[in-house]
Homo-oligomer: A and B are copies of this chain.
Amino acid sequence: MPGRNHLFVPGPTTVPDSVLSAMHAQMVDHRSPVFPQLVTPLLQDLKKVFRTEQGQCFILPATGTAGWEISLANTLSPGDKVLAFRFGQFSHLWIDMAKRLGFNVQYDEIPWGQGIDPNRVEELLKADAGHEIKAVLICHNETATGVTNDLAAIRKAIDAAGHPALFFTDGVSSVASLEFRMDDWGVDVALAGSQKGFMLPAGLAMLCFSQKALKARETAKCPRCFLDIADHINANKDGYTPYTPAISLLYGLRKALDLLLEEGMENVYARHARLAEGTRRAVKAWGLELCCRDPQKYSNTVSAIVVPQGFDARDVMHYAFHRYNLSLGAGLSELAGKVFRIGHLGDLNELSLSSAIVGAEMAMLDVGIPVTPGSGIAAASSYWRETAKPLAPRG
């Protein structure tokens, strides 16, 4: 098909051309005396994205799924109890993993489309008088439903409960896009993948451990080796890696971090918020609902849009993809057919996102969903115009 594919799944996201070019470089000896000049600044600059001064970052040649396992296996022991909340496919999968790895997972079922009530966290932790719960697992942004939890409030809830549990956060679809503050929020392990806000291909798991988490490591008895951060701690201190790193992705990460830090993390957050709000205005103008029911929890990285009764969201995706070369995110698991998703994260501006809104509208019309042509983009673009930065007149 002529013309580019319009990629609006909530990951992998579009890789900026400059990042692809940075990745297009020859391999080097990862044991050479100059290799630390690549690794050490990456680890330092990652801290600026996780917003930490106290924590320590790690980069593994793996994915966000590995990140879940890294967080658990490096800090806990088999049979340990963890507290979690199931409110979408990715929070589900983390829980599922914890079970498979032999942990004792206590979790609330929350209707998909809702998020976590910090009061409930406090209540559950208070109820755990014996401090059996070793970690609280929170999916910051549930990519399947477009729901973002309030990590600051959850931190307060843990503190209010006076509970010593570790605080783990899945930031795969939040870190580098949504406001995330490792130190301020007292996060103990934050995990991210390369293929979302970091604007890279998948293939890197990036984590940040607090000093408390690093300490927990010393008594953790889970067997681990490839995912053992002990080897990374040893090797990283001199700027090396415990095994051959995914060098091309490291080259890309160098460029991606440059882009993020040049823009400034606060600006990155604001850009995502503004682009997301435009998308939500479009959804409203179409007369449709978001899967996320709580406006306080609307995700600024992904919107899951509910198709009206009688329609199958997979048909919308079918037309979008085959007719307009637009890749929309599918509804996952119990949301299959009920929602389609627009990822609005990463290297993105108003007019790129317009393609997704226009294309989604066209595909909805193709399958018979009665939306007013042009209504979505009219609402989105009006919002973006109203909130655009002042521009000096020409000349």
Residues of A that sit less than 8 Å from B by CB: 1-7, 9, 11-18, 20-33, 61-66, 68-69, 78, 97, 100-102, 193, 195, 201-203, 222-228, 242-249, 259, 263, 268, 271, 312, 314-315, 318-319, 321-327, 329-330, 347-352, 354-356, 358-359, 361-362, 365-366, 372-379, 381-382, 384-385, 388-389, 391, 393-394
Contacts and interface: CB of A to CB of B under 8 A. Distances in A.
A356 B351 CA distance: 8
B27 A319 contact: no
27 contacts: A2-B259, A3-B348, A5-B26, A6-B351, A7-B28, A9-B29, A12-B27, A23-B23, A29-B321, A61-B61, A61-B62, A61-B63, A61-B203, A66-B226, A100-B225, A202-B245, A202-B246, A203-B246, A203-B249, A324-B349, A350-B359, A352-B355, A354-B354, A354-B358, A358-B377, A361-B381, A374-B381
A95 to B, nearest CB: 12
A162 to B, nearest CB: 32
Contacts of A28: 5, 7, 12, 327
Q: What are the 10 tightest A-B residue pairs by CB atom distance, in nearest-first order?
A: A374-B378, A3-B349, A374-B374, A203-B246, A12-B27, A351-B355, A318-B394, A29-B327, A202-B244, A201-B248
A325 to B, nearest CB: 5
A101 B223 CA distance: 5
B3 A15 contact: no
B27 A201 contact: yes
Given A243-B63, A359-B351, A391 B323 contact: yes
A103 to B, nearest CB: 9
A381 B362 contact: yes
A131 B245 CA distance: 38
Given A244-B12, A362-B384, A385-B366, A324 B351 contact: yes
Contacts of A243: 63-65, 202
A248 B23 contact: yes
Nearest to A376: B374
Contacts of A263: 2
